[in-house]
């Protein structure tokens, strides 16, 4: 493909961003007086973890995440969840009113939100609902991207909320087709829950592929807001210039580093395996519940189910103290709920609420 920088907004190609005190202060020092910080810690922070501004891209965390995902540190930008990376990509690559964004509804809503905030045209290519479940129509995406002069194509795999994955060869073919015109962003927020290799393995051959990863799901650090973008180092460097000066709070970095130790990762892998087993158990059991019309196969840590009366099912679950995601406002999902995979005990509560309550309602 042509120079990756050609895909950036022309006005940002020489943009250096804000040079913060931490980013510019690289020389060793014993007395730091370059960032207008308070010389004393807050009484609530006796160990002074938070007195200083944090590193914009902490080297230790960057190295740990690069090792986790099998990439180089230069290919990785850490942000406040993968949401920040989505926003940065849209702002840096899309000229308002000109460069389009492709999304595939029903799908994670932040792609459309960020496009709207940037006034980037949004082109929607609906998922297809078939006998085997939902599928991502890669041929239609390619055609729409080329016809609409899209700059960003978001492919969610595994897809939220519908659960399907997208084969790597299909992603590679899409990247080839739109090379020189668009970046293909593969959102792998739920990548740990499927067996397919990451799309980051495509980066060596396809410079216009980028991959979103997060510690929120499999690693159980949703409140820490640690996500990352994996992409060509040229794109990573530009996006870093567009990022806020201090995006990563030190306490969040500390917990993320602790979560990436070998011992913690071993526990995470075991829990992911248990969640996958529970997903398959719940898939079969939900399908047998009265009033459940269909349960879709899933490669994530959730199941999408259609109900004869979704309103009643939601009410039964809420009455039992169980909160699930109401998907009825999404295209094609007017009778659907999304159920996250919980612990075995929590999943049993879901089954009890649906099985007993819906069956009782049917008898009435």
- pLDDT tens digits for range 298-350: 999 999 999 999 999 999 999 999 999 999 999 999 999 999 999 999 999 99
CA 139 from chain centre, in angstroms, equals 23
pLDDT at position 117, please?
97
Neighbour tally for 271: CB within 10 Å: 14
Please say whether the beta carbons of 360 and 297 come within 8 A. Answer: no
How far apart are the C-alpha atoms of 221 and 239, rounded to whole Å? 24
Vertex 95 angle, CA 91 and 97, to 5°: 115
Nearest to 234, CA basis, from 26, 118, 92, 102: 92
Long-range contacts: 57-62, Cβ < 8 Å, 24+? 57/240, 57/248, 58/248, 58/253, 60/257, 61/226, 61/248, 61/253, 61/256, 61/257, 61/260
The model's confidence at residue 248, banded by pLDDT at 50, 70 and 90, is: very high
The model's confidence at residue 361, banded by pLDDT at 50, 70 and 90, is: very low
What's the Rg (C-alpha) of the chain?
Answer: 22
- pLDDT higher than 80, residue 25: no
The model's confidence at residue 140, banded by pLDDT at 50, 70 and 90, is: very high
Give the domains, in start order, of the chain with CATH numbers: 4-259 (3.40.640.10), 264-363 (3.90.1150.10)
- pLDDT higher than 90, residue 109: yes
Relative to beta strand 325-326, strand 302-307 is unpaired
Mean pLDDT of 127-135: 97
pLDDT at position 26, please?
59
Mean pLDDT of 69-86: 97
pLDDT at position 362, please?
40
Q: Mean pLDDT of all residues in the chain?
A: 94
- pLDDT higher than 70, residue 360: no
């Amino acid at each position: 493909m042509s120079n990756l920088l050609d895909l950036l907004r022309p006005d940002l190609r020489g943009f250096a961003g804000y040079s913060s005190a931490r980013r510019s202060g690289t020389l060793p020092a014993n007395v730091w007086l370059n960032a207008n910080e308070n010389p004393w810690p807050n009484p609530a922070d006796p160990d002074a973890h938070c007195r200083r501004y944090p590193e914009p891209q902490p080297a230790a965390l960057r190295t740990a995440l690069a090792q986790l995902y099998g990439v180089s540190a230069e290919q990785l930008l850490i942000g406040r969840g993968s949401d920040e990376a989505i926003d940065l990509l849209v702002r840096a690559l899309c000229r308002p009113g000109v460069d389009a964004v492709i999304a595939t509804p029903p799908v994670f809503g932040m792609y459309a939100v960020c496009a709207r905030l940037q006034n980037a045209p949004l082109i929607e290519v609906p998922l297809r609902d078939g006998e085997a479940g939902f599928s991502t129509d890669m041929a239609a995406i390619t055609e729409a991207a080329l016809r609409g002069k899209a700059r960003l194509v978001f492919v969610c795999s595994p897809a939220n909320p519908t659960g399907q994955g997208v084969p790597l060869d299909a992603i590679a073919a899409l990247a080839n087709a739109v090379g020189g015109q668009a970046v293909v962003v593969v959102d792998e927020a739920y990548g740990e829950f499927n067996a397919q290799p990451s799309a980051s393995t495509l980066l060596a051959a396809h410079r216009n592929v980028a991959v979103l990863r997060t510690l929120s799901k499999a690693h159980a650090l949703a409140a820490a807001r640690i996500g990352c973008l994996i992409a060509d180092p040229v794109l990573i460097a530009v996006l870093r210039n567009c990022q806020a000066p201090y995006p990563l709070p030190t306490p969040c970095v500390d917990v993320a580093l602790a979560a990436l130790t070998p011992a913690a990762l071993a526990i995470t892998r075991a829990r992911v395996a248990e969640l996958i087993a529970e997903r398959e158990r719940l898939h079969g059991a939900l399908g047998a519940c009265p009033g459940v019309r269909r349960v879709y196969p899933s490669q994530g840590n959730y199941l999408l189910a259609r109900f004869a009366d979704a309103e009643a099912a939601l009410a039964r679950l809420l009455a039992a103290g169980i909160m699930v995601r109401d998907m009825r406002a999404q295209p094609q999902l007017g009778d659907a709920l999304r159920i996250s995979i919980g612990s075995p005990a929590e999943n049993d509560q879901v089954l009890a609420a649906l099985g007993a309550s819906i069956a009782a309602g049917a008898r009435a």
